[in-house]
Structure 1
Amino acid sequence: MIPPAAAAAFLAANGWRDATIEPVAGDASFRRYFRAVKDGRSAILMDAPPPNEDPRPFIDIARWLGERGFAAPAIHGIDLDLGLVLLEDFGDVRMRETVDGDASREPALYGSAIDLLVRLHREDPATPVAYDRATLHREANLLTEWYCPAL
Structure 2
Amino acid sequence: MNDEVSLCGEVIEALASWVSQQLQQHQWQCPKKLVLDPLGGDAGFRCYFRLNVQPGLLAVYAPPAVEKNHAFVALARHFIGQGVHAPEVVAVDFERGFLLLEDFGDRPLQDELTSESVDMLYGEVLLSLLRLQQSPLPEPEPGFELPIYDAQLLRQEMQLFDQWFVPQLLDYELDSAERTMLNDFYDQLTQVALQQPQVCVHRDFHSRNLMYREGQAPGVIDFQDAVLGPVTYDLVSLLRDCYVRWPRARVEQWALAYGTMVEDVGLVDDLCQQQWLQWFDWMGLQRHIKVLGIFARLWLRDGKSGYLNDLPLVIRYTLEVADSYPELAGFADWFRRTLIPLCEQQPWYLDYQLAGEGS
Q: What interval of TM-score do these two structures reach, taking the shorter chain for normalisation?
A: 0.7 to 0.9
| Counterparts of residues 1-151 of structure 1 (less than 5 Å) | 2=9, 4-15=12-23, 18-38=33-53, 40-100=54-114, 103-126=115-138, 127-129=145-147, 140=160, 146-148=298-300, 150=303
Q: Which amino acid aligns with 2:16?
A: A
Say whether the 8 Å CA contact 1:11–1:19 is kept in structure 2: no
Aligned residues: 146
- What secondary structure is seen at the aligned counterpart in 2 of 1:109? helix
- 1:119 is displaced (CA, Å) by 2.4
Measure the CA separation in 1 of the matches of 2:68 and 2:130. 29
Structure 1: gaps (5+ residues)? none
Percent identity between matched residues is: 26
- 1:81 is displaced (CA, Å) by 1.4
Q: Which amino acid aligns with 2:124?
A: S
Deviations 1:73-93 (A, max 9, x none): 111111111110000000011
Measure the CA separation in 1 of the matches of 2:61 and 2:91. 12
- What secondary structure is seen at the aligned counterpart in 1 of 2:56? strand
Going from structure 1 to structure 2, the CA distance change for 1:66 and 1:19 (only over 3 Å counts) comes to same
Say whether the 8 Å CA contact 2:87–2:101 is kept in structure 1: yes
RMSD: 2.9
- What secondary structure is seen at the aligned counterpart in 2 of 1:6? helix
- What secondary structure is seen at the aligned counterpart in 1 of 2:52? strand
Say whether the 8 Å CA contact 1:57–1:129 is kept in structure 2: no
- 1:143 is displaced (CA, Å) by 5.8
- What secondary structure is seen at the aligned counterpart in 1 of 2:12? coil
Measure the CA separation in 2 of the matches of 1:124 and 1:99. 31
Measure the CA separation in 2 of the matches of 1:145 and 1:116. 31
Structure 2: gaps (5+ residues)? 1-7, 24-29, 139-144, 165-293, 306-359
TM-score, scaled to structure 1: 0.78
Q: Which amino acid aligns with 1:77?
A: A
Deviations 1:99-139 (A, max 9, x none): 24xx43221111111222222222223351467979x58xx
Going from structure 1 to structure 2, the CA distance change for 1:59 and 1:110 (only over 3 Å counts) comes to same
Measure the CA separation in 1 of the matches of 2:130 and 2:16. 41
Going from structure 1 to structure 2, the CA distance change for 1:47 and 1:130 (only over 3 Å counts) comes to farther
Measure the CA separation in 2 of the matches of 1:99 and 1:54. 30
Going from structure 1 to structure 2, the CA distance change for 1:5 and 1:129 (only over 3 Å counts) comes to farther
- 1:144 is displaced (CA, Å) by 6.3
Going from structure 1 to structure 2, the CA distance change for 1:121 and 1:50 (only over 3 Å counts) comes to closer
Measure the CA separation in 1 of the matches of 2:75 and 2:110. 24
Going from structure 1 to structure 2, the CA distance change for 1:71 and 1:98 (only over 3 Å counts) comes to same
Higher strand residue share: 1
Say whether the 8 Å CA contact 1:78–1:84 is kept in structure 2: yes
**Which is higher, the Rg of structure 1 or of structure 2?**
2
- Which structure 1 residue ranges, 4+ long, deviate > 3 Å from structure 2? 129-134, 140-146
